[in-house]
Structure 1
């Protein structure tokens, strides 16, 4: 499984959860609309002497407040579910079978290497990133004239994955970073869909 496939898998699972959130948000907005429509019916009965324009303005204000409350509830629920989804995704990467995990790390190493003489710093609790893995990647880099990676004796405390160091330059390729990038991409997509939906409702 290459890095893009990992990201795609994480995004697919997260999108399914996001769709669940959107359905829940739609149901909540429908309930809020029904409740406020009922309140407005009562309001109109009690204020028949008021002009139609004033009543419409009041309704618009009440519904605007309702949409704001629904939006806050939606965002809070979205954040909670995404936290859970990506925590499970991070855990599943760490629990991959050894061979699959090593293939993933090798692919990430190949993608991250620039000069080929970097040091690979494994996680302190990640024994699967070892000399054999570095040797395997070096054998693939040889055709590019970059086969000079070394395994550092240093260990990083950032969980699964590795750091790639060359002098003062350090590239973080831990699974936390991979998952965080996937989450950022998804949240941008969800935010765009959310605000587009809000604009469409506001135009009605």
Structure 2
């Protein structure tokens, strides 16, 4: 989290530095416009001086407004990038869980789901190495104790995902891949994560 805080602070500092530079440049341009218009106006009268001041002021306000908008957009982009990094980090942590933690997660999740008890478990290559027939028997015994058939089995299909699993029966899938879980929770958690990161 300290790495992310440092990244956020760096991005915000860079945006503020750029904002100051743009504002100084805008002010210099504005002052140059005002001086030029005043010199011209001296030759033709006070009405042109008034017009020049008004034009310069409007242009300066537009430049400042555009600069402020640009800085705001850059800060927003930096925050979005930081949020994505938080969710990517969470995803990476899930995908790197130990064999024991994955097996506990797999068992607890399957038992908690409202399933028939005779689905196929689709795993990726990594997790197929962790799950053996003894482990599947343990889950099936728990399902039987819940008055379910207890006929779960490992699918011959290898999942094309980084983490988690899919339960499949008759072409219907329950997607418990970590990719799907992170995506589904992202909308719910984005506000909380932003509150933690930026407040």
The correspondence of residues 15-30 of structure 1 with structure 2, limited to 5 A, is 17=4, 19-20=5-6, 22-30=8-16
Normalized against structure 2, the TM-score is what?
Answer: 0.65
Q: Determine the structure 1 residue equivalent to 2:166.
A: 163
The correspondence of residues 4-153 of structure 1 with structure 2, limited to 5 A, is 17=4, 19-20=5-6, 22-46=8-32, 47=34, 49=38, 50-51=52-53, 54-70=55-71, 73-74=74-75, 86-126=87-127, 127-153=129-155
Q: Decide which structure has the larger Cα Rg and report it.
A: 2
Q: How big is the alpha-carbon RMSD for the aligned residues of Structure 1 and Structure 2? A: 3.7
Equivalent of residue 181 in structure 1, options 169, 179, 184: 184
Aligned pair count?
178
Q: Which runs of no fewer than 5 residues in structure 2 stay unpaired?
A: 39-51
Q: 2:139 and 2:64 mapped to 1: Cα distance?
A: 59
Runs of 4+ in 1 over 6 A off after TM superposition: 190-193
Alpha-carbon distance change, 132 to 16 in structure 1, aligned in 2, over 3 angstroms: farther
Normalized against structure 1, the TM-score is what?
Answer: 0.64
Contact in 2 for aligned 1:29/1:70 (Cα 8 Å): yes
Contact in 2 for aligned 1:28/1:70 (Cα 8 Å): no
Alpha-carbon distance change, 131 to 55 in structure 1, aligned in 2, over 3 angstroms: farther
Q: Could you tell me how far 1:150 is from its partner in structure 2?
A: 1.5
Q: 2:148 and 2:64 mapped to 1: Cα distance?
A: 63
Write the deviation string for residues 57-106 of structure 1: whole angstroms up to 9, x where unpaired: 32342234334544554566556656655555444333322212211122
